[in-house]
């Protein structure tokens, strides 16, 4: 068994020399659920309440607090944080759109929003579905426009 140890200093990347720009990112992910769980979500029949609304709010909060969870992420003031969840016949699709004016990107915020939204669905449904699988979390797009 090989053990790795931290070597050298760990630092945030210095972005102070980068110009401000409008930055955005989109991310998405999926969660498979059994048909009965999907029915309960559609009918708001779970004990913990509205799964989609709670997951949407959790995703937005996650985007705003990414710097608090991922150690080397910069603190950003977000202009927009949208998270949407869509139920289909196999499960739920989560999508996020994040925008800020800053000197570093927002892809981690977009990915974190989707991840936490889907984890919230998992938490709210775990009592009734042991077969849930979160998958395909990915960055869909990122943009940077000079201002």
* Positions marked active-site: 123
CA–CA distance, 87 with 56 (Å, rounded to integer): 13
For 67, the token pair is 């710097």
**Nearest Cα to 39, choosing from 108, 101, 87?**
87
Helices 35-42/107-125 angle, 10° precision: 100
Contact 124, 46 (CB under 8 A): yes
110-144 burial by CB neighbour count: b if 16+ within 10 A, else e? bbbbbbbbbbbbbebbeebbeebebeebeeeeeee
Cα radius of gyration (the chain) = 18
């Amino acid at each position: 068994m090989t053990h790795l140890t931290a070597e050298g200093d760990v630092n945030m990347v210095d972005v102070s020399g980068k110009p401000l720009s409008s930055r955005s990112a989109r991310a998405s992910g999926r969660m498979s659920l059994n048909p009965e769980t999907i029915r309960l979500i559609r009918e708001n029949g779970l004990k913990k309440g509205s799964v989609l609304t709670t997951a949407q709010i959790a995703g937005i909060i996650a985007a705003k607090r990414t710097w608090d969870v991922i150690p080397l992420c910069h603190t950003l003031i977000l202009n927009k944080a949208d998270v949407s969840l869509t139920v289909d016949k196999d499960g739920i699709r989560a999508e996020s759109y994040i925008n800020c004016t800053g000197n570093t990107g927002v892809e981690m915020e977009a990915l974190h929003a989707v991840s936490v939204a889907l984890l919230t669905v998992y938490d709210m449904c775990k009592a009734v579905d042991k077969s849930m699988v979160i998958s395909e979390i990915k960055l869909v797009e990122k943009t940077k426009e000079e201002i």
